Structure 1
Amino acid sequence: MAMKVKEVSELVGISVRTLHHYDEIGLLTPDETTSSGYRLYSDANLEKLQQILFFKELDFSLKEIKDILSDPSFDREEAFQMHRRILLERRDRIDRMIATIDKTVQHWKGEIHMTAKEQFEGFDFSRNPYEQEARQRWGNEAVDQAHARLGQQSPQEQQALGERMNEIYRNLAALRHLAPSSEEAQTAIAAWYDFLNEMGSYSPEAFRGLGQMYVDDERFTRNIDKFGEGLAVFMRDAMAAYADRVTP
């Protein structure tokens, strides 16, 4: 059933002005407008609004959200699974911080003793790896550049590129028994870094984050480990070591 803008505002908890702004910038345009000028939102509009708000929770700009949702390759189910993993990670961290608060109060009262380490359980100022994956999946300029360059190549060039990529994987797989920071491993992972930067523009930190995603996302792990069991973990560690080495 169609809903007026005021009804949507009250349902969702955002202002009418915000909904008007989304309409004005083409982010969320209601499916129908009455002859008297009332905006009417359909069920599909509400589903899109939900997705917009999920992305806002990840600190995407409205322009980025608009670009993501208008992309023909956007997969709503994939996005929901990503959001779910992020929220679960946040819930776990919040639960640990609440437990730390409770234990701290007991510590002050002399009921228990907390170690210095226990006083900071739950604090984590590193970036959430799932949020990093989300930004790489939907907001990383390097990925856009890679797609654009691939689209300009002939089928023969793309096949040659795939063969080069597989050869790098095979070389790394043959070295995975070595320390990731060894000269041999670092030379091989540097070739992977150079290869990726032919397609896009990866900073050392983005390279490190990509390596972490190889382990965090079982889809990547499964595909990479086809070249050798444990390769994804080895590449993650080698990419982290490489990022440390080349970062000023």
Structure 2
Amino acid sequence: MLNPMLTIGQISNRTGETIRTLRYYDKIGLLTPSDYKEGGHRLYSVDDLVRLQQIQALKFIGFSLKDIGDLLQHPLIEHEQIKSSIQFKRKQLLAEQERIQEMIDQLNHMDAIISNEETVDIKSFCFIIHSILWEEEHVDEKNREQHSIFNFREPERLELDREYYGLITSIRHLVMSKTSPETEEALDCMRRLVFLHQATLIKIAKLQEEGPDQTETSNILDPFTDEEKAFIKEAMRKLAELK
């Protein structure tokens, strides 16, 4: 009994390869169907299916389509050629694995920042997230590993982000509720803001003493609106008067 021919849809279902990809392979001569039925519909044999599986295997370990076409013309190839491709693919996957783990750690950090909150102020939260992402782009890996203020995996950084998130949110809520910047509640926020800002600057100053290239630019995202800045300015003025 002759082996049945497979349509392009059937071979796609069996291998997980898309119909679009199979058509492209036919176009470049990498996998040409054994036959065509009326209307130009492609028909694949069992040998075609085996060749497609070989293409998928070689593609998985990093060979280009051109290289795959050349390789499949020979029953035997040099061991080093395969080994080199495997090593390159492994290196790519390990780098991707490290990147994925870093993203998971970032998400865990973001989750921990708001773990004790009943509601989340989205503007304040987005500012904290942006700060983390900004530092990833602008602060080199060595400094993130050596200095906890730049390392979101460190407890000190988590506590810092929690404090900033809580303080920014408190100030925003005071402004939204039309609270006077001269109230004790507002002044207490300003004291906390000054203390936190000075503590952060001291840490950064120590890093700059260790080397001039800790970070050359600043995060330009501002967590406060003009109305909130005016509130802070007035509250700071009142706090200065009390001193």
- TM-score, normalisation: structure 2: 0.34
Which entry has the higher C-alpha Rg, 1 or 2? 2
